[in-house]
């Protein structure tokens, strides 16, 4: 008896099992309880992968927008620490840069893992 991964949920199960105990994937008919076969499951996983990558890219875009907005607020708001718009511009710039950099690292790790 060997332990294998379920093609639907990647749960560990016995190779003798006829149905996955985690997601009810039927190994006899090669389909899930929803009626999805292995090809449809692979397509579903690809779509989830694309959605995750798109989400990370949009988070990086928000970081870029914050950096640009903060730079503009600082530049046109007095370029110093004595005005409220100058301080808020610098805060936006720092938060945007941190968000952008961390999201790019997360995106890099996501691409390496898949």
- List pLDDT tens digits, range 6-65: 877 778 888 787 778 777 777 767 666 566 667 777 788 899 999 999 999 999 999 999
Contact 66, 95 (CB under 8 A): yes
Phi, psi of 24 (to 5 degrees): 65, 30
d(CA 99, CA 28): 47
The encoded tokens of residue 8 equal 């639907």
Provide the whole-model pTM. 0.65
């Amino acid at each position: 008896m060997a332990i294998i991964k379920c093609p639907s949920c990647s749960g560990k199960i016995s190779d003798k099992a006829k149905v996955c105990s985690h997601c009810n994937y039927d190994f006899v008919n090669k389909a899930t309880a929803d009626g999805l076969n292995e090809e449809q499951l692979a397509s579903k996983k690809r779509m989830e992968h694309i959605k995750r990558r798109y989400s990370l890219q949009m988070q990086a875009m928000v970081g870029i927008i914050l950096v640009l907005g903060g730079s503009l607020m600082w530049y046109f708001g007095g370029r110093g620490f004595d005005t409220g718009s100058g301080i808020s511009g610098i805060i936006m710039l720092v938060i945007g840069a941190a968000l952008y950099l961390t999201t790019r690292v997360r995106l890099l790790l996501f691409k390496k893992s898949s």
